[in-house]
Every structure is written in C-alpha cells, then in structure tokens.
Amino acid sequence: MQKTAVVLLLAFSATTFALDNGLMRTPPMGWLAWERFRCDIDCDNDPKNCISESLFKDMADRLAEDGWRELGYVYVNIDDCWSSKQRDAQGRLQPDPKRFPGGIANLARYVHDRGLKLGIYGDLGTYTCGGYPGTTLDKIEIDAQTFADWGIDMLKLDGCYSNATDQEMGYPLMTKALNATGRPIGYSCSWPAYQGGLPPAVNYTLLGEICNLWRNYGDIQDSWDSVLNIVDWFTDHQDILQPAAGPGQWNDPDMLIIGDYGLSTDQSRSQMALWAIMAAPLFMSNDLRTLNSGARAILQNKGAIAINQDPLGIQGRRLIKEKSGIDVFWRPLSNGASALVFFSRRTDMPYRYQTSLKALNYTPGTYKLYDVFLEKSLPEVKDATDFVVSVNPTGVVMWYVYPSTKQEDVEPVHLKSKLTRSMFLQKDRKPYSPDIL
C-alpha cells in the first residue's frame, strides 16, 4: 500500500522531481563505448579494446585532438562493465581496481582538462545488464552523490533486473537525487524502452520533466537492418514521439554506428541525416583511433551537425512514404529555414525522384538550397517548379532550404570552422540568407 501511494504521488506531482540542470538545450554529442566495445573486460589479452581507463583516455585524446570537440562532440561516456563486482565498505560503487587503477575521479579530471565531459552508466535494478552492482531504490541517493563527487557530467540509467513499479519510483527519485547534489549532471533514462516506448505505459509529459533524454526503443546493432528498424519504429510513432522532444528533453534512437563494420558509405550518410532530422543525440560508438577518412567526413559534416543542433529544437518528421521506396523527411529550423531528406529504401539502383517544394507544403516563394553531403549550393528554385533528385540505394540526399530574400546577409555561422551553439542564427541579428546558397 505504501509503495502504491508513492507511485501515485509521483504521477501527480512530477514538478516536485523536475530536473533542474539547464543542460542539453540542443541534443548532446559525444562518444559512447557500448556498441563498439560492449563488455570486453579481458585487458590481459586485449588491452587496447577492453573497458578500462586507458580506452576512455584514448577516446578523450582523439576528441580533443582530431577536431571533434570543436564540432560539439564533448561527452566521453562509459557504459556497462566499468565497476567492481562489490560496493566498498561505505556502500558506494567503485571502479574495477585493475582496469581503472586511477579511479573515476582521476579519469574525470583527465577528460575535463581536455575541455570534455565524462559520462557514466548505472542501472535501476539489482544488477546492471552485464551483471555488475545495480542502483536499487535504497542506493539512489548515495550513487548520485558518488557520481557528483567524482565529477561526472552525465548519467545513463538503464533498467535491467528491475520492474515497472521500481522504475516508476526510481527514475524520478534519481532526478531528485541528482538535483540535490548541486552538480549539473545530464540524465539519460532508459525507462520508456523497458515499457514498450508508447502510452499509456509511457508518460512523455513526465519524462520531459525528469530526464534530459531517454531511450525509447531497443539497442542498435552494427547493421543496416537495425538502423532501418529503428527509423521505422520512430516514424511509425512520430505523432506521439515528435511533440515530446525539445530543448533539454530528447528522444534517443541510440548510437551512431558510422565507422564500424555494418554500414556502407551511403547507409552511413543516411544514419547521420536521419538522426539530424530527428533531433537525436549524436553519440558515436566506434574506434576513433582507427576511423577511416570517409566515416570521419560524414560524422564531422558541419551542415548535418548544424541541422541537428538547431536551437529551436523541433524534431523533424516523415512527410511522405512513396510506393517507389522513397521517403521524404522534413524538419523546421530557425528563422524560416528547414531541412529536407530524400531517403531511399531501394536496394537496386539510384532512383530519380520528382517533386516540388509546393508539393511538400512549402509556402509560395523562391528558395535557396544547399546540398549537405555534396557541400555545395544548388540553383534557386521556385516553390511550384518541379525538380528531380537522384537518390542512391539505401542512401539520402539532404538539403538545407532557406527562403530567398534581399535582406542583408549575415555570416553563415554553421559553416564557420568553430561552431557555436547558436548555429544557424544569433538571436540579436537579422535572419540571414547564407552566402553559400
């Protein structure tokens, strides 16, 4: 009876537990260990790839030295299998002493010294998914304080070995505990993924008040089928999911697997474009030490990043699903701009897709176009004028679209070598017509 009363109290008094960290006003970006490195703890035989402080220092070095940090990729996120199998004498989580000999606080200092942020993994259950100590309801406060004491900047809280009642109590209680530490810690909740991702089991209004981002669906795998399955689930339910997203609260379709083994170049562009349209967090899970130049170019594409990071924070949606196998996605951006993605589900050959901006519900006028992956301006087009785009199998064409005006141009912030969070515009300046278009 007491537990039921607590659950009802949380359901009707969410503001008591509202997350008050001011973080992640645009989708967070960085690197996350899980998809690429999983639970490899064999540091004796696989020292370069095992879950250890050495791995996370290597990735921090790459983010800081290879141009990632300046583009917004600032989080270095530890996932499962980092901890010892036992808590310490005070009941606190502790890292595996062999694989993290310097401790997490020391690793956080290393990451912070490079202008980056450190994320960590926990689980609201008796064990983590990998079998390590979980954060049961009675451990929420001590774990939140431990993470704050270590200098952690983000917490991903999983849901293995828990139940619906404990999740309904525990996820909001962790919000309260994180707030109480006084340290700004971004909060990623896996709660909806364990409850089917949809109402009535999932209350997205409540999630938006207690979490900065949340996993809605299953884990991504290193395959095109997995990417397509996630995209289909998110678009099939976009009427529910799209309104839930906004500054400080994001739907999370899971990691970017660009640069691993499962995607072609066209499929890699597709994942980057669709994650940008969906205003998704951009957490790479790859090996930045050996990343090839093609994958790097896609992940560091400034136009795609700028679309993802648009300060309006409106998640895009699929407008059209054609019988020909072409889907058209659209996202509104700041100051009347927008992004279009023409995505091919076909596997045979490039498809020439004909349409017009008028057919895509654009208002009358003339528009400037910029092809994000070709990185070049296209001829201006009137709303009623038909055009043709050639889309490669399982590939995309991604456009930045802006109304053509005679107003004074403003410097195109999104193409500067060092991006800012304002990206496409600065609030105290006029709307601009980028000189690249």
The catalytic residue positions are 158, 219
User: Are the C-beta atoms of residues 129 and 123 closer than 8 Å to each other?
Assistant: yes
User: Are the C-beta atoms of residues 178 and 144 closer than 8 Å to each other?
Assistant: yes
Q: Measured between alpha carbons, how far is 281 from 252 in angstroms, rounded to an integer?
A: 6
Q: Measured between alpha carbons, how far is 23 from 15 in angstroms, rounded to an integer?
A: 17
Q: Measured between alpha carbons, how far is 356 from 369 in angstroms, rounded to an integer?
A: 13
Q: Measured between alpha carbons, how far is 123 from 103 in angstroms, rounded to an integer?
A: 20
Task: Map residue 128 onto helix, strand or coil.
Answer: coil
- The set of residues, in sequence order, having a beta carbon less than 8 Å from that of 300 and lying 6+ positions away, is 67, 68, 71
Q: Measured between alpha carbons, how far is 19 from 214 in angstroms, rounded to an integer?
A: 13
Task: Map residue 390 onto helix, strand or coil.
Answer: strand
CA distance between the termini of the chain: 63
CA separation, residue 11 to residues 20, 190, 201, 204, 384 (Å): 18, 18, 12, 12, 49
Question: 368: which strand partners?
Answer: 402
Q: Measured between alpha carbons, how far is 191 from 292 in angstroms, rounded to an integer?
A: 35
H/E element holding 308? helix 302-308
